[in-house]
Structure 1
């Protein structure tokens, strides 16, 4: 798995900001399960069909508060990753739903610099995705 904890929490915050439900199937759990099955050499395939027993532990989960300093650091990391104005050569159109476009436009207007656009944000998101999953995608292509 290539995502670190801070980017997972940023993903959850971004999904919440965009109005998406965070339970909409994050690929990290599926990838982790697939990696575990491959490492076990097929032993996990037999166990994967068995239902996983639910935890009956009724201890309340501790909710930790995020400090303002952590939020500012997280915002700065987000801006450095997704909001620098990219240089895009040989442009091609990409279509988005109105709700996605509006949510991205809101992010760009709130946090982006003067010359930042939704196209630039989408370019940065796509570049980050390819850098994070590029090697995995090549390996999956060969399956």
Structure 2
């Protein structure tokens, strides 16, 4: 039984796993005349002070339900993960791909813990990228035409 995972959820999970969460950058301010720059800097200081203050917690009338994941569900999701990403792929024309040490170490740990005898980090990356291209292939073609 395959579960449908949205591409955004898959991207968020992959980014979280790899430690590459997108950074929140403030938009660049528009150029201003010299006499309003002092006022603008005061506003920026006030906004910065507001950002650094802790936000009050939002209280909803509905209590949040914490759902436990059973061991059976975890095993099923592990089997789905293995089926999708830890199959030994056939790679005909190999080319090198460079990864940071931390990413390589994390992928190597996954392959050693869950992969079969002939599985490698290269095979895992191949499977991940095949899934990515299958998910986003049509969008990439559409974006290319923009």
2:136 counterpart residue number: 133
1:30 counterpart residue number: none
Q: TM-score, normalised by structure 2?
A: 0.64
Q: TM-score, normalised by structure 1?
A: 0.65
Counterparts in 2 of 1:10 and 1:19: CA distance versus 1, 3 Å: closer
- 2:66 and 2:10 map into 1 onto residues whose CA distance is 14
One of 103, 106, 110 as aligned partner of 1:103:
106
Give the deviation of 1:19 after TM superposition. Answer: 6.2
One of 63, 73, 84 as aligned partner of 1:70:
73
1:82 counterpart residue number: 85
| Equivalent pairs, count | 108
- 1:109 and 1:76 map into 2 onto residues whose CA distance is 15
RMSD over aligned CA atoms reads: 2.8
User: Does the 8 Å CA contact 1:108/1:121 hold for their aligned counterparts?
Assistant: yes
Give the deviation of 1:90 after TM superposition. Answer: 1.0
Give the deviation of 1:20 after TM superposition. Answer: 2.6
- 1:134 and 1:98 map into 2 onto residues whose CA distance is 28
- 2:6 and 2:136 map into 1 onto residues whose CA distance is 17
Counterparts in 2 of 1:5 and 1:125: CA distance versus 1, 3 Å: closer
2:4 counterpart residue number: 4
Runs (5+) with no aligned partner, structure 1: 26-54
If you compute each CA radius of gyration, which structure gives the higher value, 1 or 2? 2
Q: Secondary structure at the match of 1:86?
A: coil
Q: Secondary structure at the match of 1:128?
A: helix
